[in-house]
């Protein structure tokens, strides 16, 4: 179904050939012009639109060059309106160990038919808690890993052996290990007069081009974020994992 029935939008008023540029030549189609993100010939899809922002945040927080491997899957599950890009995907990324962080995995999910109402989120989950990064807040939830065995971890042993194991761990007094953070939840919220991320983007950019401060996302930082994001597309359409050298910024 077309999104616009106006007589102003037609082959006489839209230079469709110029719009297509170097993309494959196809007959004039209103949806392709107004909803070009739904077609892989004209853009970088959700990964290019949104993943790049997540990678910018994640790489900045961790002082990381980014992942070195990606595996994407998904499909066109609901929106059968002529588009040829998926509406549900999940991409798993491998981050290698570096001087600034341990090796870990990141999962990026997209669901354009979410019955829960949609929305977005960004969470970092570690061994002693989780951090949720929002537009105007950061929520840190702290917890302690269980340091003693229980339930299924020792259920295969006899009761006598289980007792010995539990007594051995009790003697180590593991719960007394030092911790600078108390368990619980802490939330940092931006001041009420905070002007928002878009204001910061423009302010930082103008300050940068005037030589008053360094730009965080310079060409190198930006390419590492964008390159990592587009690995999702490479993997999805090739139907296989793809490897990437985040330092050299090249596919392997």
pLDDT per residue as tens digits for the range 36-59: 999 999 989 889 989 999 999 999
Taking only the tens of pLDDT, the chain with its 252 residues reads 445 555 688 899 999 999 999 999 999 999 999 999 999 999 898 899 899 999 999 999 999 999 999 999 999 999 988 999 999 999 999 999 999 999 999 999 999 888 877 677 889 999 889 999 988 899 999 877 666 666 667 888 898 998 888 888 777 765 544 455 567 899 999 999 999 989 998 999 999 999 999 988 899 999 999 999 999 999 999 999 999 999 999 999
pLDDT reported for residue 117: 72
Mean pLDDT, all residues of the chain: 88
pLDDT reported for residue 36: 94
Can you give the pTM of this predicted structure? 0.83
Counting Cβ atoms within 10 Å, is residue 180 exposed (0-12), middle (13-18) or buried (19+)? exposed
109 part of a folded domain: yes
pLDDT reported for residue 20: 97
The backbone torsions φ and ψ at residue 26, rounded to the nearest 5 degrees and listed phi first, read -135, 160
1 part of a folded domain: no
Q: Which helix (H) or strand (E) holds 138?
A: strand 137-142
Last residue of a domain, one of 160, 177, 194: 177
* Whole-number Å distance between alpha carbons of 212 and 210: 6
The pair of three-digit structure tokens given for residue 202, joined into one six-digit string? 């423009």
Domain housing 197: 44-117+185-251
pLDDT reported for residue 182: 61
- As a residue count, the chain comes to 252
Q: Report the percentage of the chain scoring pLDDT > 70.
A: 89
Same domain, 56 and 94: yes
Residue 191's CATH number: 3.30.360.10
The pair of three-digit structure tokens given for residue 12, joined into one six-digit string? 């006489």
pLDDT reported for residue 169: 74
Last residue of a domain, one of 134, 154, 177: 177
Q: Are 229 and 47 in contact (CB under 8 A)?
A: yes
Number of domains within the chain? 2
26 part of a folded domain: no
* Whole-number Å distance between alpha carbons of 85 and 45: 7
Burial 136-161 (b: 16+ CB within 10 A, else e): eeeebbbeeeeeeeeeeeeeeeeeee
234 part of a folded domain: yes
């Amino acid at each position: 179904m077309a999104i616009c029935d106006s007589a102003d939008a037609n082959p006489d008023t839209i230079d469709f050939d110029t719009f297509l540029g170097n993309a494959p030549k196809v007959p004039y189609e209103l949806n392709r012009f107004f909803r070009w993100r739904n077609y892989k010939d004209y853009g970088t899809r959700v990964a290019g639109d949104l993943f790049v922002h997540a990678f910018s945040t994640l790489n900045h927080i961790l002082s990381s060059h980014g992942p070195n491997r990606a595996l994407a899957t998904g499909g066109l599950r609901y929106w059968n309106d002529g588009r040829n890009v998926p509406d549900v995907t999940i991409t798993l990324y491998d981050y290698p160990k570096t001087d600034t962080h341990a090796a870990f995995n990141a999962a990026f999910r997209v669901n354009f038919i979410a019955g829960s109402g949609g929305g977005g989120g960004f969470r970092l989950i570690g061994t002693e808690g989780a951090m949720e990064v929002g537009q105007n807040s950061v929520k840190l939830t702290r917890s302690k890993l269980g340091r003693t065995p229980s339930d299924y971890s020792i259920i295969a042993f006899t009761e006598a052996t289980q007792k010995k194991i539990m007594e051995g761990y009790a003697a180590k007094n593991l719960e007394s290990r030092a911790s600078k953070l108390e368990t619980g939840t802490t939330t940092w919220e931006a001041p009420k007069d905070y002007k928002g991320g878009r204001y910061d983007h423009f302010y930082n950019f103008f300050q940068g081009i005037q030589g008053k401060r360094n730009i965080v996302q310079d060409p190198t930082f930006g390419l590492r974020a964008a390159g990592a994001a587009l690995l999702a597309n490479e993997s999805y359409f090739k139907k296989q994992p793809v490897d990437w050298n985040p330092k050299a910024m090249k596919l392997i």
